[in-house]
């Protein structure tokens, strides 16, 4: 992978080079994938916790398993 000079600002008034733009897009994609994974883990944990809570409530209320 080539070394890209990332001293670029969107407010500089000039367009990024293709290499800079590609690097920005790779980083944005990587960040989005990581945030999606974190959200999935958090959602699964919350869903599992809710299921346990509702099962405990059901057992208490109806005395069944």
Flag whether 12 is in a domain: no
Query: Cα(21)–Cα(62) distance, rounded to whole angstroms?
Result: 60
Containing structural domain, residue 48: 18-64
Mind listing the pLDDT tens digit for each residue in 6-35? 666 667 778 888 898 999 999 999 999 999
- Residue 53 lies inside a defined structural domain of this protein: yes
Given a cut of 80, whether residue 65 has pLDDT beyond it is no
pTM confidence score: 0.65
Mean pLDDT estimate for the chain = 87
Q: Is the distance from CB of 4 to CB of 23 less than 8 angstroms?
A: yes
Residue 5 lies in a domain: no
Tokens of 38: 């974190």
Residues 4/19, Cβ–Cβ less than 8 Å: yes
Whether 9 is in a domain gets the answer: no
Q: 38-60: per-residue pLDDT in tens?
A: 999 999 999 999 999 999 999 99
30 belongs to a structural domain: yes
Q: Is residue 11 part of a domain?
A: no
Tokens of 15: 């367009």
């Amino acid at each position: 992978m080539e070394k890209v000079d990332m001293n670029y600002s969107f407010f500089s008034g000039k367009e990024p080079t293709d290499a800079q733009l590609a690097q920005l897009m790779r980083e944005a994609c990587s960040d989005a994938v990581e945030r999606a994974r974190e959200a999935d883990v958090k959602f699964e944990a919350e869903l599992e916790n809710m299921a346990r809570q509702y099962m405990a409530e059901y057992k208490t209320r109806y005395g069944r398993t």
